[in-house]
Structure 1
Amino acid sequence: MGMTSEPPQYADRVYRSGSALAAGVLLIGLAVWLGGDAILRGDGRTPVVAAAALLLFVPLVSAFTFRPAVFAGAERLRVRNPFRTVVAPWAAVESVKAAYSCELRAGGATYQLWAIPVSLRARGKATRHNERLAAGEQPRGGMFGLGGRDRIGQDADQPRTAPSDVAVAELRDLAERHAGDPGAQGEVTVRWSYETLAPAAVGAVGLLILWITG
């Protein structure tokens, strides 16, 4: 009797904002530099104030820059937003859409996809590009508008789609393909990011106490 082979397992697709990651590195680096200097060289209450400010600022910046991500696997969609993580089996996904922001509708609730920001500028450029193609005009793209591939890897002589709309289309396709899979059934779960909220709350309380006590 032959052995039954299990379907191959693939790594999750991961969606993140490169600009948010870059901003996080810049802001946290600046905060650590200034705050660390105040802690090491400050007088009086300055080191304590700087430490409390860092305890508040660094987790909040991390929450909005490093933390947001969307993980799309064979069985479920995991959305990691600044303060919550939403896990939605594909069968529970009702819709994924991109208007002024990307949204997931699952289990009767709507969740923002912070990791997939919508760029109206990119969408407008794609629309104008596609209109030029439809009109038979020479498309602009590549280096100095000379053709080839643009900076997101799309051919200049082919219809173009904004990155956020590409991501949403991929998520919709995964939801449609896997909604009936046995492993893709279940309820939506939501978990608060206490590892982010707790230190930020401690920092905020510390600053409040220092302000009250003058």
Structure 2
Amino acid sequence: METSPAPLKDRVYRSSAGIAGGIVLLALCAWLGIDAVVQGDGRTPWLALAGLLLAVPVVVAFTLRPAVFAGEDRLRIRNPFRVITLPWAAVATFRSGYSNEVLDQDGAKYQLWSIPVSLRARKKAQRNLSRAAAMDDPGRGSLLSGGRGAKERPTRAAADQAMDDLRELQETRAGEPGAQGVATVRWAWEILAPAAAGAVLLAVLSAIG
């Protein structure tokens, strides 16, 4: 009895620096907000709550939320305020410059927030590649100074390698029956609604002074 192959597990791309920064900012918001609520007088606790209602979703949106999910049939991009789903056949190309982007067959462009470009990482990888080429051993990278032996060093920035992986997956899967379709975009109301409510409440409290 033949069994169908197991579906490919989604590859998930997220920014570790963004996540770390988000945790720090949320801890700071919690510390300042709770202190204002407990210790504040008059309208201060209400202003603090309104500020938290606005700030927390925005911090989450730009730090913890962004992710790219590359599956067997489609690419799902979770950006701060939108979720874009692109079947592989709908992907026209990936483009890297000062930001990483994907273009669909209709020419629409979507930024990959969770795969930020690091010019510093690119320069470092290029230096490693140059050292490896100079030693005529590109598979191993350069030797450590001080006679401590050889060590592999990346010759491709992590973000650029992620984009290469996505291009390869798109080229491999675009022709499959399950990878057909058009792009869909959904607004992240779970982020937008509380942030908007916090902004309105903050404006009202400030206006009634």
TM-score, length basis structure 1: 0.90
Alpha carbons 1:97, 1:104 under 8 Å: kept? yes
In structure 1, distance between residues paired with 2:71 and 2:80: 21
Structure 1 vs Structure 2 CA RMSD:
2.1
**What's 1:184 paired with?**
179
2:129 partner SS: helix
Runs of 4+ with >3 A deviation: 137-149
> Are residues 1:132 and 2:131 paired?
yes
Instruction: Provide the identity percentage.
Output: 53
CA contact (8 A) 1:95 1:105 kept: yes
Aligned AA for 2:129?
Answer: N
TM superposition shift of 1:7:
2.2
- Is contact 2:142-2:150 (8 Å) kept? no
Query: Is contact 2:135–2:142 with CA below 8 Å preserved after alignment?
Result: no
The answer to whether the 8 Å contact 1:98/1:164 transfers is: no
- After superposition, the C-alpha distances for 1:91-116 in whole angstroms (9 at most, x for unaligned) are 00011122111001113200000000
Q: For residues 142 and 133 of structure 1, what CA distance do their matches in structure 2 show?
A: 11
Residue in structure 2 matched with residue 166 of structure 1 by the alignment: 161
User: 2:77–2:84: 8 Å Cα contact kept in structure 1?
Assistant: yes
Match of 2:199 in 1: 204
Question: Which residue of 1 is the match for residue 119 of structure 2?
Answer: 120
Match of 2:76 among 78, 100, 104: 78
With 124-133 and 9-18 compared, the bigger mean Cα shift is at 124-133
For 2:64 and 2:40, the matched residues in 1 are separated by: 29
Structure 1 residue matching 2:36: 3-state secondary structure? helix
CA distance in 2, matches of 1:56, 1:201: 7
Instruction: Label 1:172 to 1:193 Cα distance change in 2 as closer, same or farther (>3 A).
Output: same
Query: Where do residues 1-214 of structure 1 align in structure 2 (5 Å cutoff)?
Result: 3-108=1-106, 109-136=108-135, 149=151, 155-156=152-153, 160-214=155-209
Unpaired stretches in structure 2, ≥5 consecutive residues: none
CA distance in 2, matches of 1:126, 1:105: 26
What secondary structure does 2:9 align onto? coil
1:107 is matched by which residue type in structure 2?
Q
Query: Secondary structure at 1:36's aligned position in 2?
Result: helix
Query: Following the alignment from structure 2 to structure 1, what is the Cα–Cα distance between the partners of residues 5 and 22?
Result: 38
Return the offset for 1:8: 1.3
CA distance in 2 between partners of 1:134 and 1:22 (Å): 35
Does the Cα contact within 8 Å between 1:140 and 1:146 map onto a contact in 2? no
TM (normalized to structure 2)? Answer: 0.92
Amino acid corresponding to residue 47 of structure 2 in structure 1: V
Range with bigger deviation, 126-135 or 18-27: 126-135
